[in-house]
Structure 1
Amino acid sequence: MDGLLTRCLRPLKAVANYLNAIAGVPDYQKYLEHMRRHHPDQQPMSESEFHRWATDEKYGGKGVRRCC
């Protein structure tokens, strides 16, 4: 049963990853992989820290800047 569920969810996960990449949503798993390969001596950010950092990078500062 688990194998069937995994096979059914795999295409949906691929579509979700594709849409996230188009929308510019950062991939925490890729970040962790990068840290393991290139910076094994450093502690990676937590997932919430990573997303906060990515938002700051995307919008240029602390939190989302809005005109209204």
Structure 2
Amino acid sequence: MGSADSLRERWATLTRCVCDGARLMVGQGNYDTYVAHIRKTHPEQQPMTPTEFFRERQNARFGVGGRGGFRCC
């Protein structure tokens, strides 16, 4: 059997994956992943704030500004 630390690490990884999956299912990406991507691939750009990121993801999901997306009404 693995050590308690190994079990904790595996539990933390599983929890993170489940949470990330749930966010993606409802159209909300992971902000930390977004910031890491921007810093790595677009270092000259300033990342959006968490509030801006949330709003942009909501707008994309619901088709605000003619961007397609899911619309219930």
Report if TM-score (shorter chain) is over 0.5.
yes
Show the counterpart of 2:31: 28
The alignment status of 1:57 with 2:63, answered yes or no, reads: no
- The structure that is helix-richer by fraction is 1
Q: 1:28-63: per-residue Cα shift (whole Å, max 9, x none)?
A: 11211111112111111101100101111111217x
Residue 17 of structure 2 aligns to which amino acid in structure 1?
A
Q: Aligned partners of 1:21, 1:28: CA distance in 2, in Å?
A: 11
Q: Aligned partners of 2:18, 2:59: CA distance in 1, in Å?
A: 26
For normalisation by structure 1, the TM-score amounts to 0.65
In percent, how many aligned pairs have the same letter? Answer: 29
Query: Closer, same or farther in 2 for the Cα pair 1:25/1:38, shift >3 Å?
Result: same
CA RMSD of aligned residues (A): 2.7
Residue 24 of structure 1 aligns to which amino acid in structure 2?
G
Greater Cα shift, 18-27 or 41-50: 18-27
Contact 2:23 2:29 in 1 (8 A): yes
Residue 26 of structure 1 aligns to which amino acid in structure 2?
G
For normalisation by structure 2, the TM-score amounts to 0.62
